[in-house]
Chains A and B, each alone.
Chain A
Amino acid sequence: MPLPTCFEFECPVKTHCGDRALENIAFEMRAMNAVKPLIIGDEPAAQEKRLVPVLNAFKNAEMTLGVVEAIPVEDPASVAAQLAAIYRDKDCDAIVAVGQGPFIDMAKWLNLMVSTGEENPDAFIEGKGIPRSLRPLAVIPSATADGLELSGYVRLQGKTLRSVNLMPPLLFLDPRSVGQPGDVALAETGLTALTLALEAMFTADANPMDVVYARTAAKLAAMGLNGLAGDSEIGGPLSLTVAHAAALAGCTLGAGPQPLAFKLGWAVAETGKISAAQAMGVMLSYVLEHRLAANEMPADMLLELLDSAGRYARTPEGQRGAAGLQLLRDLLNRLFETTDGKIRRTLSDSGLSLQDVTEATEGISAQGKGNASGGQETIITCAWEGRPIR
């Protein structure tokens, strides 16, 4: 991959991953000069009792904890306002958020509110006015992630704020806190992570520091998805692997523009007939194939990421890109089989018409970091049919 002649990289996230990871949380809080964290958890975390190991980890920490459990996310702005009142009332100085997806958006927004005193998200549009140091925020994600948890994105009532400063400085991935979601939910998290990671890798201006996170996230996602598709050797618990992939994929995205397949996936999900994760999972190989066909990007390394350096090296040079894409499609087919068709191979599998998809994705621009110029129609048609572009 050629080195860009100019780039910037920043990832303020400190990762703690593996056995007893949660036991480090009090130490890390203290290192950031915080002793009164407000611990908040979403509804699934409460149902699965995932707050228990987190609270236990604080037992001997001699810290004053505020705890609010089973927080709904339907009305994030007013929930955040209520939590901000609790935070101030209890004189808290940090936030620990146990949960996933929109709940983490809410937690980041809460942090922005209590750190700045500003209550109107419009004050931060385009990332303006978001200070470099917010209060310490620790995120403890589950394996049912939407990929944006560790990113610099906050989605709030149809608005999007983004800034590197919104990336949570502390990440804890612990087998006890990632939960045990079903295969379909795990596969969806894995597909989201794979999409964010691969699109970041196969971008003309990818820099070697972004690639560090992207590579690792892609390999973890491939490992998790292969495990779900029936490969026996995945090394480590499946849900931790998938949660790990999604968290690092969020780091990869940071506050950068969302990649094409990711955006298309969310747009198609608006139809209500397929989840965003599945839709992007279907479209991913076509977006990459289109870039390959347009010769915008050598997708050769796909083979190494999805399989191994050995397989890559043994495959003749001109065939590596195609072999990698085939591997990606085979993976989706295998997931289709092992989940009894619940993970879709094509957009038409979900009962959507081509017209539905076209309408849903009309407003999506292919512009942005690494997105292929044009060809959106081809990508969508082929992804709907399940037919390679070539």
Chain B
Amino acid sequence: MLHIPGYYEYCCRVNVVAGHDGLEKIPALLERVQAAKPMIVTDRGVAGAGLIDVVTAALGDKVTIGGVEDDVPQDSSLEAVQRIAEAYRANGCDALIAVGGGSVLDTAKGANIMVSEETDDLMAFSGVGKLKRRLKPLIAIPTTAGTGSETTLVAVIKDHARHQKMPFVSYFLLPDAAVLDSRMTLTLPPAITAATAMDALTHAVEAYTCLAKNPLSDANAVSAIELIARHLMAVMQQPDNRDGRLALAVAATLAGMAFSNAMVGMVHNIGHATGAVCGVPHGTCMAILLPYGLEYNQHRNGHLTAELLFHLEGPDVFAHTPSDQRAQKVIACIREMNQSLHAITQGQHARCLRETYDRDGNRAVPFERLTEIAATAKNDPAILLNPEDLDDEDYMMVLEHAWDGSPLNRADIAGFEKKY
């Protein structure tokens, strides 16, 4: 069904190139923007996995690579931005290619501001709408199928010396092109494939069920959901399934388009806090929390969740599920997905917070720290577009259930009582 709000905006100006040979299209993309000497920005993990070699081989002799900066830290940093900008200038580059996840792309965006504005003072451009013109061409090549950061117009750079996060928001920060190539995710380990796909699924589901939805973001969302539903398990069972890998990459970008226009809700809200307090990877938090978000909001948006059954499970299941049980069925279906992913990854994919571990094998989220997570979540802006409010008790109730993996008792939700 079409849901048309009184007013909406929608924009997705990224040029998407997708295919098993997407990388080979880069020379043409560069030519279109009159660039011939790109600098490649990436991190050690991506370079170590041999992906930069795949990219450079695909570029062949059609493009002169102006340098490879493979030292972007896990959280983008001002130093990395400055170093890349210097190398860019020294080598006479005229474009940037970011190969990696969110922090690589953010770092490349930061460096792009410095080289395009010919400034050493990045801070002067921090904030909303400070950029007034096109930057140098930037091509994003995601190496996971999840974050959707190739569709966003923001960048966050950390100034570690001043303990500050500098946000930048502008349409000029959208990459000129996003290149989705199945080779970039072919060797992604199963647990990361699972977690990042669940992040993408969460982007789509929250965009569809939260307050800032619009008909185009809805269409993005349902396409993403259909692709993930159809291909995730196939890829988990057969990791070198190229068509499946490409489908998941496309789904992640579609989901990115959905949430960069329609925003997210409490799943991201609590997930951000869980990541910040306990260091649990973002996708893992999303997979665990998604069913709880839907369950918690069900009295507000159950009719929307119910519509997703058609896309998640197909027409037959949809037709055979009574309409008042469809939302519940969607939630059950996502729990089943987590269960299957848990089994396929031999337990690496956590189904509840209790099952998450840090690098040393210790429990990542001790029960005692849930109050801290709740307190952090309260101050995260992602909650603003959630259909139902959460007070302290609500946060704790959701977290405690997500910790041990038991479904919510919906009668306990404060807002639920208010409504009925």
Cross-interface CB contact of A15 among B10, B246, B254, B310, cutoff 8 Å: B10
Contacts of A235 in B (CB 8 A): 2, 4
Cross-interface CB contact of B10 among A14, A209, A241, cutoff 8 Å: A14
**Given the complex of chains A and B, what is the CA–CA distance between A213 and B8 in angstroms?**
15
B227 within 8 A of A: yes
A308 contacts B1, CB within 8 Å? yes
**Given the complex of chains A and B, what is the CA–CA distance between A6 and B315 in angstroms?**
27
CB distance from A175 to the nearest CB of B (A): 10
B9 within 8 A of A: yes
CB distance from B231 to the nearest CB of A (A): 8
B219 within 8 A of A: yes
B49 within 8 A of A: no
Within 8 A of A (CB), among B285-316: 307, 310, 315-316
Within 8 A of A (CB), among B3-17: 4-17
B2 contacts A220, CB within 8 Å? yes
Contacts of B415 in A (CB 8 A): none
A8 contacts B215, CB within 8 Å? no
B220 within 8 A of A: yes
Residue of A nearest to B18 (CB): A7
CB distance from B135 to the nearest CB of A (A): 12
Interface residues as binary, A206-220 with B (CB distance below 8 Å gives 1, 0 otherwise): 011101110110011
Contacts of B318 in A (CB 8 A): 309-310, 313
B216 contacts A18, CB within 8 Å? no
Main secondary structure of the interface of A (DSSP, over half): mixed
A312 within 8 A of B: yes
**Given the complex of chains A and B, what is the CA–CA distance between A105 and B46 in angstroms?**
46
Interface magnitude class on chain B: 35 or more
CB distance from B214 to the nearest CB of A (A): 8
CB distance from B266 to the nearest CB of A (A): 25
B13 contacts A12, CB within 8 Å? yes
Cross-interface CB contact of A208 among B21, B250, B323, cutoff 8 Å: B250
Interface residues as binary, B221-251 with A (CB distance below 8 Å gives 1, 0 otherwise): 0010001000000000000000100110010
Interface residues as binary, A2-19 with B (CB distance below 8 Å gives 1, 0 otherwise): 011111111111111111
A313 contacts B133, CB within 8 Å? no
**Given the complex of chains A and B, what is the CA–CA distance between A89 and B20 in angstroms?**
51
**Given the complex of chains A and B, what is the CA–CA distance between A10 and B13 in angstroms?**
7
**Given the complex of chains A and B, what is the CA–CA distance between A215 and B134 in angstroms?**
31
**Given the complex of chains A and B, what is the CA–CA distance between A379 and B216 in angstroms?**
32
Contacts of A21 in B (CB 8 A): 7
Contacts of A24 in B (CB 8 A): 9
Contacts of A244 in B (CB 8 A): 4
B19 within 8 A of A: yes
B319 within 8 A of A: yes
B315 contacts A312, CB within 8 Å? yes
Contacts of A219 in B (CB 8 A): 2, 215
B223 contacts A309, CB within 8 Å? no
Contacts of A7 in B (CB 8 A): 17-19
A3 contacts B243, CB within 8 Å? yes
Cross-interface CB contact of B21 among A6, A33, A220, cutoff 8 Å: A6
**Given the complex of chains A and B, what is the CA–CA distance between A32 and B243 in angstroms?**
38
A368 within 8 A of B: no
**Given the complex of chains A and B, what is the CA–CA distance between A8 and B214 in angstroms?**
24
Residue of A nearest to B220 (CB): A212
**Given the complex of chains A and B, what is the CA–CA distance between A88 and B318 in angstroms?**
59
**Given the complex of chains A and B, what is the CA–CA distance between A121 and B223 in angstroms?**
39
Contacts of B375 in A (CB 8 A): none
CB distance from B134 to the nearest CB of A (A): 6
B219 contacts A212, CB within 8 Å? yes
Contacts of B5 in A (CB 8 A): 18
B25 within 8 A of A: yes
B332 within 8 A of A: no
A132 within 8 A of B: yes
B215 contacts A220, CB within 8 Å? yes
Contacts of B162 in A (CB 8 A): none
A334 within 8 A of B: no
B167 within 8 A of A: no
B33 within 8 A of A: yes
A263 within 8 A of B: no
B223 contacts A17, CB within 8 Å? no
A314 within 8 A of B: yes
Cross-interface CB contact of A211 among B33, B171, B219, B257, cutoff 8 Å: B219
B13 contacts A11, CB within 8 Å? yes
**Known A-B contacts A219-B215, A309-B318; A211 and B223 likewise in contact (beta carbons under 8 Å):** yes
**Given the complex of chains A and B, what is the CA–CA distance between A158 and B410 in angstroms?**
65
Interface residues as binary, A197-213 with B (CB distance below 8 Å gives 1, 0 otherwise): 00000000001110111
B132 within 8 A of A: yes
Within 8 A of B (CB), among A1-45: 3-21, 24, 31-33
B129 within 8 A of A: yes
Cross-interface CB contact of A6 among B4, B20, B132, B227, cutoff 8 Å: B20
Cross-interface CB contact of A3 among B7, B133, B246, cutoff 8 Å: B246
B13 contacts A236, CB within 8 Å? no
A133 within 8 A of B: yes
Residue of A nearest to B320 (CB): A313
A223 within 8 A of B: yes
CB distance from A251 to the nearest CB of B (A): 9
**Given the complex of chains A and B, what is the CA–CA distance between A14 and B257 in angstroms?**
13
Cross-interface CB contact of A216 among B11, B215, B319, cutoff 8 Å: B215
Contacts of A31 in B (CB 8 A): 129, 170-171
Known A18-B4, A212-B216, A219-B215; further 18 A-B contacts with Cβ < 8 A: A3-B227, A7-B17, A8-B16, A9-B15, A10-B15, A10-B16, A15-B9, A18-B5, A18-B7, A31-B170, A33-B133, A132-B33, A209-B254, A223-B2, A241-B4, A310-B319, A313-B310, A314-B319
Instruction: Enumerate 8 A-B pairs (CB-CB under 8 Å) in ascending A order.
Output: A3-B243, A8-B25, A17-B9, A18-B8, A19-B7, A313-B310, A313-B315, A313-B319
